[in-house]
Structure 1
Amino acid sequence: MNKNSFRIYTILLALFIGFAATDTAFAQRKKKKKSKKKKETPVVSIEEPSKKDLRKAEELFIYAVNEYLLEEYDQALELLLKCNDLNPKDDGIKYQTALAYSKIENYQRSLQFSKRALELDPENKYYYKLVAQNYEVLNLLKDALMVLEKQIEETGDDEEAYFQIAMLYLQMGAPRNAIEYFDIGEEKYGINDVIVRQKQRIYIRLGDLEAALKEGQKLINAYPDELTFKYSQVRLLLGNNRTDEALEMLEPILKNNPNEGEGHFLMANIYRNQGESENYYEELKKAFGCSDQLTDESFNILAGYLQFSYNEKKRFEAEELINIAMGAHPNDDRLMALNADFLISQKKYDLARTYYLKSLEKNANNFKLWKQVISIDWELQQVDSVDKHADMAIEYFPNQALLYLYSGSAKLQKKDYDEAEVIFTQGLQLVVDPSMKIDFNSQLGDTYYQMDDYAKAFTKYDEVLKVDPLNIYVLNNYAYYLSLRKENLEKAEEMSYQTIVAEPENDTYLDTYGWVLFVKGDYKKAEEYLKKAADISQASTVIEHYGDVLIKLGKTEEALEQWEKAKKLGGEVSDQLDQKINQKKYIE
């Protein structure tokens, strides 16, 4: 049972039967209890509440219902229990208390109060329903069944009660009994598609396909213009290999409704099962060109094509189907995203990003798409876009640490060091994955160094290396920054050496190691590594460093050649490069 189905009734109780507003109303309730039936109910004799208590209970009850509607159930219960003390014979108060207990999942207490409400008013069907609901949650299914049967006996026919009884029988493993009660409800209240579908599931589970099909046909007969029921019947036939009957039923539907996408998808399935690939594809084109809403099944078909995008024929068909679908559904955000996925497979990153962003304009609450957009930004080395899109995504997903890592990294590259430090620090508080914590601390170390806070920078690097001692990114940066400051050069050399052991052909790591040796004054050995770095690099800093070591070794012409090359390459070079060239000497 839907636990929220009593909310409206609760409000009515507060206004009409929650408590006795006047002596007359209360007297009427007392008078009602004089029937023989009521006298047989064993209740504890309780002293009648005073008028003052009744008024106080009424006042507290209104506040309690307000708290309940605000979903402040603990506060509501506190007030309701006081109401029970002041007016212990009020069934409405008992019922509202039971509802509040059920909201905090204290079903034993809810059962206690709902049963008491029912004792006080055995003609209120909502009290029966709540008692039955509590029994069901407590897995006392037979008790729930007895209560609902008693409800029908006492309060008359109730469609919902018949449905609940049937569902209880299902839970008890008695499907035939369930069908019996579904049939009773259907006979009394007419055909209901929910009940018919439930009966179909039962019959299929029992292996009685004919009965399931008969139920489906009842829906079709009752609602001859509702295509959904006909499609369901076709699916049932197809799912049980009765293709000829499915085809016989589907053909007139499509003849009369040629623009029904669902019908064409079903026809495509029939052709696929028959191995008619060309007809299958033609039906898909018709289906995707129809304007009715695309289903999960249709998206699965397109996604299936994307898995074979390496096949030229499949790639062409995928592109054609997506374009057809886009023409019929130009504002479908899922379709835009899927089109972007296809473009990614074709390495059309810029256009793919355009469609991801269009999809996000329709539905921004898609974390996967934001990641895709930012990944493309990064792949295209568009740092401003990374920064912009990461910050936009954080507005929708403020608890996703990855977005802070992207945002902070972009700000670091843009030399917005203060902002980078703030965003990295915020993101670090959200990190759960230890490997991501390493990434954050690494980037924070770089940020602090650029902010001239060297102690914090080196502390962050040490934190990383304590957890991941072979993190070559941190080993390289840490070593390089130590060499720039001429601090702890032995440690710098040791760390840098580990990077070239890990990646002996990496020009950045070779350059760092050579530069550490240069700062230590070991020019001959530095030349070996700086030359190797310069031979494979086009980075101006690396070339300049090689020139620096050559001048130290007295190779002036070769040094000038490297410095000129570094100047021509542009990029990051030292402020002293022109001075070095003009004066033909190394300048610190």
Structure 2
Amino acid sequence: MNTAGKTIFSLILLSMAVTQAVALETGDRKYNSYLYFLQGEILLRQNDPDAAQYKLEKTIELDRNAVPAYKELVFLYLQSGNYEKARMLVKTLKNLSDNIDTKLFLGTYYVYAGDTTSAINQYQEVIKKDPENAEAIIILAGIYSEINPEKSLGYWDRYIALKPDSGDAYYRKAVVLKKLNKTEGAKKLLQKAIGLQPDDLLTRVTLAEIYESEQDYILAGDELYYCAGLDKNTYGYYIRAGEMYMRAKDYEKAERVFKEALPVSKNDPVVYFWLGLLYENRMDWKTASEYVEKSLTGKSDIAGYEKLSYYYTQLNDVNKALKTLEQALKLNPKSAEVNFFLGLGYMDLKKNGKAEKYFLRTVDLDPNLSDAYFYLGTIYEQSGKFDKALPNLRKVVELTPKNAVAMNYLGYCLADRDVSMDEAETLIRAALEIDPENSAYRDSLGWVYFKRGKYQEAKMEIEQASKNLKDPVVFEHLGDIEKALGNKKNAESFYKKALFLEPKNKNIKKKIKELKI
């Protein structure tokens, strides 16, 4: 063999050796990369994310094409807040792999990252490659359910066609229809879902909500009662079911459900409170008060005391009602509502001094509570303090400009004292515009005419009022008009009608005597 031949042979041997060495080295790198990946997976299952991250980073350092490692690392970075690292890995991953699994993964990443548009694009690409990819279809249905409910319906239909036994899909499409106010379609889908998964609480609760919105309270109650049977440790379903039956006025059913709730709830005060409300609807004030008393034994709260005081008032025990409200006031001395109710209670007892104190405290705590100003005005007006009554009554009209009762009361008070007659007439006419059939307001307008000397107009208005309002004041007014017109006999007749209705009225007796002089 010549020298040139030896040289070529040597080069061939060297080349073979180098190639074999590179192959061995490459094999070692991939093998080591795979070992790191397996170790990372094990560490993830052992809930050691930091150590797992290190192993997975070593994996892609040794093998830049290790797609599974990239995927694991992306979510580890997201969980640890390394969003930029995750973004960079995703960018690399997109260039490494274009298969369906990677696109599904990227879609999940974009959803997690809040990039809805990119997520949609990835899932749409999956569907182009695989039109029956159920995972991509249901995720798109879910995304569009939030951002474009109408568009989501087509995706739900596609998914249901692929998975006709998916109760969850029927439920989720029903939620979309409910959002779009397509309740009939929603009900049918929910009923279909219940047929597939009869023990799913969320499906039944959603159906109950639709029944409630349609005021079909019995069906709503039935669904919620079924839920109570499924979840025997949650008595809230019993309470909601009982509430629905109460709205339907099926008090027997409501009572049965509330009483079933008592042992489950371990006699929770809330259940006793609802039983009190139930008997309130039956107007059985005694039983209602007994149940609310039990609720307050377990838990003191203002709402319970307010209810109980109302029941005592209905039982004509105002003193007990006031003591109950004083208990409520101890819980919250700054409750405008409780102070207001105390004021009303003391008015009932004719203790206007105490009532005034509580009403003043009420408006101090809540300057917009118009009823408190109204009752202050009536207390002052009836005690001859019209200078104090006037600003309070005007405040009521200011706060509630459509309050016909307040406008009439203020207008009548002004007219009766010959004060601001134009204002008085304007107020009363405004009240009549709101309630044109109100005989008391018509009497007030007639009284304005009387005070202005327009006796015929006054007579016409008050006679009209007397047809529907048999009130001593109305008959007294008619007597005053007839007297002013010189018709003493008619005047006496009306005064006697007034006296019949109010036998102790000394002023009317005096007017009858004056006619005979």
Using the size of structure 1 for normalisation, the TM-score is 0.45
Residue 428 to residue 543, structure 1, CA distance change in 2 (3 Å):
same
Identity %: 21
Residue 421 to residue 498, structure 1, CA distance change in 2 (3 Å):
same
Question: Is 1:507 matched up with 2:439?
Answer: yes
1:316 to 239, 246, 252: 252
- For 1:486, the aligned partner's letter is D
Give 2:235's aligned residue: 298
Give 2:94's aligned residue: none
Whole-angstrom CA distance in 1 between matches of 2:457 and 2:317? 38
Whole-angstrom CA distance in 1 between matches of 2:277 and 2:334? 25
Question: Contact between 1:472 and 1:498, CA under 8 Å: does it hold in 2?
Answer: yes
Question: Contact between 1:563 and 1:577, CA under 8 Å: does it hold in 2?
Answer: yes
Q: Is there any run of 5+ residues in structure 2 with no aligned partner, and where?
A: 1-49, 51-74, 82-111, 113-166, 169-197, 205-220
In the TM superposition, residue 338 of structure 1 has moved relative to its aligned partner by 1.4
Bigger Cα Rg: 2
Whole-angstrom CA distance in 2 between matches of 1:405 and 1:328? 37
Give 1:570's aligned residue: 502
Residue 287 to residue 558, structure 1, CA distance change in 2 (3 Å):
farther
Whole-angstrom CA distance in 1 between matches of 2:315 and 2:455? 39
Whole-angstrom CA distance in 1 between matches of 2:454 and 2:267? 66
The 5 Å alignment of 1:226-245 reads none
Residue 327 to residue 172, structure 1, CA distance change in 2 (3 Å):
closer
- Which deviations, in whole Å up to 9, do the C-alpha atoms of 1:61-85 show, x marking residues without a partner? xxxxxxxxxxxxxxxxxxxxxxxxx
- For 1:577, the aligned partner's letter is I
1:356 to 276, 283, 292: 292
In the TM superposition, residue 466 of structure 1 has moved relative to its aligned partner by 4.1
2:336 to 398, 401, 413: 401
Give 1:445's aligned residue: 377
2:474 to 542, 546, 550: 542
In the TM superposition, residue 383 of structure 1 has moved relative to its aligned partner by 5.5
Give 1:307's aligned residue: 244
Question: Is 1:173 matched up with 2:108?
Answer: no
Give 1:211's aligned residue: none
In the TM superposition, residue 499 of structure 1 has moved relative to its aligned partner by 1.5
Residue 539 to residue 425, structure 1, CA distance change in 2 (3 Å):
same
Whole-angstrom CA distance in 2 between matches of 1:522 and 1:473? 24
In the TM superposition, residue 477 of structure 1 has moved relative to its aligned partner by 2.0
Secondary structure at 1:521 match in 2: coil
Question: Contact between 2:228 and 2:238, CA under 8 Å: does it hold in 1?
Answer: no
Give 2:105's aligned residue: none
Whole-angstrom CA distance in 2 between matches of 1:530 and 1:342? 44
Residue 541 to residue 316, structure 1, CA distance change in 2 (3 Å):
same
Using the size of structure 2 for normalisation, the TM-score is 0.51
Whole-angstrom CA distance in 2 between matches of 1:170 and 1:345? 59
Give 1:532's aligned residue: 464
- For 2:448, the aligned partner's letter is V
- Which deviations, in whole Å up to 9, do the C-alpha atoms of 1:218-276 show, x marking residues without a partner? xxxxxxxxxxxxxxxxxxxxxx99xxxxxxxxxxxxxxxxxxxxxxxxxxx9599999x
Give 1:420's aligned residue: 355
Give 2:511's aligned residue: 580
Question: Is 1:369 matched up with 2:304?
Answer: yes
In the TM superposition, residue 425 of structure 1 has moved relative to its aligned partner by 1.6
- For 1:303, the aligned partner's letter is R
In the TM superposition, residue 470 of structure 1 has moved relative to its aligned partner by 4.3
Question: Is 1:429 matched up with 2:360?
Answer: no
Give 1:487's aligned residue: 419
Whole-angstrom CA distance in 2 between matches of 1:315 and 1:454? 49
In the TM superposition, residue 375 of structure 1 has moved relative to its aligned partner by 4.9
The 5 Å alignment of 1:17-28 reads none
In the TM superposition, residue 455 of structure 1 has moved relative to its aligned partner by 1.8
Question: Contact between 2:380 and 2:388, CA under 8 Å: does it hold in 1?
Answer: yes
Give 1:13's aligned residue: none
Give 1:474's aligned residue: 406
- For 2:269, the aligned partner's letter is D
- Which deviations, in whole Å up to 9, do the C-alpha atoms of 1:433-481 show, x marking residues without a partner? x3x2x33322222233234332222122333444544433332222222
Whole-angstrom CA distance in 1 between matches of 2:451 and 2:77? 79
Q: Which structure is higher in helix share? A: 2
- For 2:235, the aligned partner's letter is S
Whole-angstrom CA distance in 2 between matches of 1:489 and 1:424? 29
Give 1:18's aligned residue: none
Whole-angstrom CA distance in 1 between matches of 2:453 and 2:413? 17
Question: Is 1:338 matched up with 2:274?
Answer: yes
In the TM superposition, residue 429 of structure 1 has moved relative to its aligned partner by 1.9
Whole-angstrom CA distance in 2 between matches of 1:507 and 1:382? 32
- For 2:440, the aligned partner's letter is T
